[in-house]
Amino acid sequence: MSFSFGLIGYGHFGAFLHDLARRYLPGSILKIHSSRREPDGTRFFHLDEVAACDAVVLAVPISAYPATLEKIRPHLGSGSVVVDVATVKKYTMDLLQAVRPSCRFLAMHPMFGPESYAKRDGDVSGFRVVVTGHNLSPPQFAKFAAKLTEIGFALVEKSAEAHDRELAETLFLTHYIGQVIARGGFERTEIDTVSFGFLMDAVDSVRHDGQLFEEVCRFNPFCREVIERFDESDRHVRNAMLRVGPPGRGAE
């Protein structure tokens, strides 16, 4: 029988996962469920049909996880594996482990998105996928890991807490700085340095992710500590710069 891939949610990242599935899972049955309007050439299915697939990928906002898990629970097939790709991991893993009756799950976080994929012209070599937990059998997980590495992804295994702590100091911090710069109205110019270009690339990559930015802060407890550290550092640098006086007239 053909492998079936179910995708719940068809926002920016969900559509990207659909593209990856079409590329790397040829011959598979792809089924999508979303409340959004169907894009041209893409058919959406009822939730119960998608939930019965072999792999059921949740590409919904983090805040929608509890309701989504409750809706799909009665429709999961006996062999279905719920795949959690949320940006935070401790919160969503706790939800998955609380599902009764228990379901098979795989919690992971792809450390890339459509922007980085496009900049690499579709070359995924070395893109990291962090796995923070699962309840698959050893042969099942080994098969999954082998498929990822065959494609070119780099698999990293890490606890959910370690993932969230490190993500707060990397991805969230990038989002935080990017949102500050975007809100300040800073733009590219014709005399940009290379380093400023890199900075604006980072800003552009997060400029339209306002909801994700807010939800990561809400559901990752380590983000508030990062904000406080950044604010303290910002005050230190700002005060040091403000103490630098204007140039004097010098000696007569």
Residues 96 and 144 in one domain: yes
Residue 14 lies in a domain: yes
User: What is the residue-level pLDDT of the chain in tens, covering all 252 positions?
Assistant: 689 999 999 999 999 999 999 999 999 999 999 988 888 788 999 999 999 999 999 999 999 999 999 999 999 999 999 999 999 999 999 999 999 999 999 999 999 999 889 989 999 999 999 999 999 999 999 999 999 999 999 999 999 999 999 999 999 999 999 999 999 999 999 999 999 999 999 898 887 788 899 999 999 999 999 999 999 999 999 999 999 978 875 554
Residue 245 lies in a domain: no
Q: Is 99 exposed, middle or buried (0-12, 13-18, 19+ CB in 10 A)?
A: middle
Tell me the HSE value of 130 on the side-chain side, using a 13 A CA sphere.
Answer: 18
Residues 85 and 189 in one domain: no
Residue 244 lies in a domain: no
Q: How far apart are the C-alpha atoms of 236 and 179, rounded to whole Å?
A: 21
Residue 194's domain comprises 169-234
Residue 249 lies in a domain: no
Residues 114 and 144 in one domain: yes
Sign of CA dihedral 149, 154, 158, 161: negative
Q: Phi, psi at residue 45, to the nearest 5°?
A: -115, 165
Residues 127 and 22 in one domain: yes
Contact 47, 8 (CB under 8 A): yes
Residues 206 and 152 in one domain: no
Residues 31 and 152 in one domain: yes
Residues 173 and 148 in one domain: no
Q: Is 88 exposed, middle or buried (0-12, 13-18, 19+ CB in 10 A)?
A: buried
Q: How far apart are the C-alpha atoms of 48 and 75, rounded to whole Å?
A: 5
pTM of the model: 0.91
Residues 140 and 16 in one domain: yes
Give the total number of structural domains in the chain. 2
Give residue 208's pLDDT: 76
Q: How far apart are the C-alpha atoms of 180 and 194, rounded to whole Å?
A: 20
Helix axes 171-183, 210-219, angle to 10 degrees: 130
Q: Phi, psi at residue 16, to the nearest 5°?
A: -65, -45
Residues 133 and 182 in one domain: no
Give residue 249's pLDDT: 59
Give residue 1's pLDDT: 64
Sign of CA dihedral 141, 9, 6, 23: negative
Looking at 108, 131, 156, the residue that finishes a domain is: 156
Contact 1, 27 (CB under 8 A): no
Residues 37 and 82 in one domain: yes
Give residue 247's pLDDT: 85
Looking at 125, 156, 187, the residue that finishes a domain is: 156
Residue 247 lies in a domain: no
CA 107 from centroid of its chain's CA atoms: 12
Residues 111 and 41 in one domain: yes
Residue 213 lies in a domain: yes
Give residue 196's pLDDT: 97
Residue 84 lies in a domain: yes
Give residue 52's pLDDT: 97
Residue 179 lies in a domain: yes
Residues 59 and 146 in one domain: yes
